[in-house]
Amino acid sequence: GSLAWRAANALPVAAAVGYYGGQIVQFLDRQPKAPVLLLFGEVDYMIPLSDVEEIKRHHPTVPVHVYPGADHGFNCDARDSYHPEAAAQALERTLNFLAEAGVRP
């Protein structure tokens, strides 16, 4: 997630999607040069919701979604934190976002 944020700020990418980017708050002074979508789990033990709110405050035009009941790694079906509902919603949101940005996955 944090690498996607940094790539959107520094590299010629068409769009970027960040899943649970815990270090984004360290780079809030940077402005994305490409559309960015950020996805977080509500109960992520590594990323406090206060950090997510800080991201929203600094970048109000960046879509940020928080999945209720989801933890860090909610999209990885090999982890105990896998959250199938959040993963499915995040995938749909990701594919729609990339399509709107003109990116074909």
Best CA proximity match to 75, nearest among 43, 39, 103, 48: 39
Query: Can you give the residue ranges of every domain in the chain?
Result: 2-100
Distances (CA, A) of 57 to 28, 51, 52: 10, 10, 9
> What tens digit of pLDDT does each residue of 27-68 get?
999 999 999 999 999 999 999 999 999 999 999 999 999 999
* pLDDT band with cut points at 50, 70 and 90 for residue 26: very high
Residue 104 has pLDDT above 90, yes or no: no
User: Which CATH superfamily is 2-100 part of?
Assistant: Alpha/Beta hydrolase fold, catalytic domain (3.40.50.1820)
Question: pTM of the prediction?
Answer: 0.94
Handedness of CA 96, 78, 25, 28 (dihedral sign): negative
CA–CA gap between residue 93 and residue 99 (Å, rounded): 10
Quick one: pLDDT band at residue 3, thresholds 50, 70, 90? very high
pLDDT digits (tens, 9 = 90+) for 69-92: 999 999 999 999 999 999 999 999
